[in-house]
Amino acid sequence: MIGLPVQVDNSGYLTLFDNAVENTLFSFGENGSYIQEEMLTPGNGYWLRMTDEYVQDFSGEQISEVTVNLVEGWNLISGISYPINVDAVIDPDGLLIPNTIYEYFGGGYVTVSSIGPGKGYWVRSLGNGTISIVFER
């Protein structure tokens, strides 16, 4: 599960990831289905299949704030260019269900205490609305 941690000129997944398998980038739609994508958008999380495990470096303008649209139920999101504690996520409408932010790790899902750059996360929401992920200097 991945996310876009910086602003780039070309956010096409085949440009960003050297070992991406073609036609395997998917976001998660509000109707509960996966949507095949070509480009990554900051704040959205994605599934992407790679030919092998590796670390991808990104260059671009850092993202210090993103507003993420949520729908009731499960959402696939990503963070910004900096790690942010989940308790620091701005959730004015109380949409996030406590302890329901997960990353895919070691073949399964684990709850997280922070949202890191470049990763995708499952988040469960009580309803429709927005949250903000902001880096406070």
Q: Does residue 19 lie in a domain region?
A: no
Domain that holds residue 124: 63-134
Q: Does residue 89 lie in a domain region?
A: yes
Q: Does residue 53 lie in a domain region?
A: no
The pLDDT assigned to 60 comes to 93
Region class of 68: left (phi > 0), else alpha (psi between -120 and 50), else beta: beta
pTM score, whole prediction: 0.94
Q: Does residue 93 lie in a domain region?
A: yes
Q: Does residue 117 lie in a domain region?
A: yes
Instruction: For the chain, 137 residues long, give each residue's pLDDT as a single digit of tens.
Output: 999 999 999 999 999 998 999 999 999 998 889 999 999 999 999 999 999 887 788 889 999 999 999 999 999 999 999 999 999 999 999 999 999 999 999 899 999 999 999 999 999 999 999 999 999 87
Total structural domains within the chain: 1
66 within 8 A of 79, measured Cβ to Cβ: yes
Single-letter residue type at 60: G
Q: Does residue 115 lie in a domain region?
A: yes
58 within 8 A of 116, measured Cβ to Cβ: no
Q: Does residue 56 lie in a domain region?
A: no
1 within 8 A of 45, measured Cβ to Cβ: yes
Q: Does residue 113 lie in a domain region?
A: yes
